[in-house]
Structure 1
Amino acid sequence: MSRTIALTNALDESGLTPNPDRSAPAGPDTPAPAPVADISRYHHPHFLRAEPGPHHTTTFSFTAFTGREPEPRTPIAMYEDRALDRRQLEAIRTQYEVAQILWSKARLRLRAEPVLRTAAPLWAAWETAHTQLTEVFGAFWETPDGMWRAQLLRLGDAETVALDAARVWDAVAGKLAVLAEEQAAVAGYEHELPLTEVASEAGIDASAWFIAPVNEYGDGVWSTTTPLVHRARTEIAVQRGRLLDVAVLAGDREPV
């Protein structure tokens, strides 16, 4: 199976960017153009062809990457090859740029899929814990005055479960954030492959998952609050604030 990608870089029939000078009519004293050097020896092993596409683009075709290959690197030898002109050097560089994009996406799929499968039940656990937290807090609207302390105990338990689930989720989400950042760093953010797309290809619905940018997960030394834990703590603080307001309004001597 081959993969293609289009970049804005029109080619002529030789697979190179057109040279405006070649469009001028040749006169009797015009020297014959120098023979075009063969660049095929610099092709990436997965490269198949480059073809003109619509809207001044070029479609590059490669055999499928697995993600296990070494990262495609522009051959150093081409810079020492005096037979190559500037357009040919640019054509090779562009080819390897496309190869890097396709390779980075293949590597993300390879590395992220097992992590996504691990993450799926952990997100479900967080959703269950969060729903329980919301329901226990909402039950205060129907709890008689004499039963509030018991309901507060239930709320404390629900808070603990929710925070634990958030910590576990953030641990796996941080790994996914690192993988996504590595892919974008190689391909460029304009060619970023969303984790939701990788998950969908694996039959996993990750559309509701909360995965923050990689820098929000910290290094475990300078940052102690990870993104979902922070969100959960904020929600818990709001709930406790409401309960404290009720205690004050009711004139309770011991605040919640």
Structure 2
Amino acid sequence: MLENNTSAGRRSAVITGVLLIAGLVTGILSVVPVIDGADYLVEASIHENQVLIGAFFQLLMVAAYVGIPIFLYPILSKHNKGLALGSAAFGIIAGVFIIIGVIILLLLLTVSHEFAKAGTLNVSYFQTLGGLLREGRDLVNHVATTLAFVFAMLLYNCIFYQTKLVPQWLSVLGLIGSTLSILASLLFMIRFIGLDSTYMMLNFPIAIQQLVLAISLIIKGFNRVEKDSVSK
């Protein structure tokens, strides 16, 4: 029984580590530069493949964002069921918001195609509609999705800190990084900052923590504390 529980914990650690890296990689590959440019109404339809590829990788993010807290749940619930359940719930919420973001992205592509067909007719209409969709996408991606997933990370890092399942300095970095990322999303929401260097710097610590945590889980797994808990 102990060997089976230890094997299950090791498997969960490896899967979680892989999903953490997958989340970072798909997040980078889901960026669609043509949508963020000034001529997005023209460029989106011209570079349709770029938009579709971005949408595809954004959908793949759902597996990572939802999967991480779910695969951690059996381990973390042994120590704090409430926080583990909250983390899983926020992960699922983040996945829902990602799907909404993909839908908005595809709607922007449709608007771009219609704009290309209309030519110079109803330019202001398409600009208004496109602007609203792009604004909505930014809020969904960089506020709603980010806040939901960061809260999931904050909760599971709280358990990591309490139990020392991972090196404590790593859980502390996760708590600090999560707080800074929440701050970045809130400042972006009130338009105090944009998607600029300040926003990136505030999100940098949690990205580094995710990467280091992923490597640690894949190579070493959880600390002995988790194994002892499972054996009881």
Q: Of Structure 1 and Structure 2, which has the larger fraction of its residues in helix?
A: 2
Tell me the TM-score normalised to structure 2 length: 0.37
Q: Of Structure 1 and Structure 2, which has the larger fraction of its residues in strand?
A: 1
Higher RCO (CA < 8 A, seq sep 6+): 2
